[in-house]
Amino acid sequence: MSVQLIDWDLALIQKYNYSGPRYTSYPTALEFSPEFWRR
């Protein structure tokens, strides 16, 4: 069995190396409560 090294593309990593918005579900997590399930 041989080991393959990963050839990282540094330019691509730097291009996307920034903070972005978090994934938001609908309804939002704050709306999930015991009352939500009674609707």
For the chain, give the number of residues. Answer: 39
Q: Tell me: the pLDDT tens digits for 11-35?
A: 999 999 999 887 777 777 777 777 7
Residue 9's pLDDT is what?
97
What's the pTM value of the predicted model, to 2 decimals? 0.40
Cα-Cα-Cα-Cα dihedral sign, residues 19, 21, 24, 28: positive
For residues 27, 31, 35, 39, the Cα torsion angle rounded to the nearest 10 degrees is: -20
Q: Are 27 and 36 in contact (CB under 8 A)?
A: yes
Q: What CA–CA distance (Å, rounded) separates 17 from 11?
A: 10
Residue 30's pLDDT is what?
72
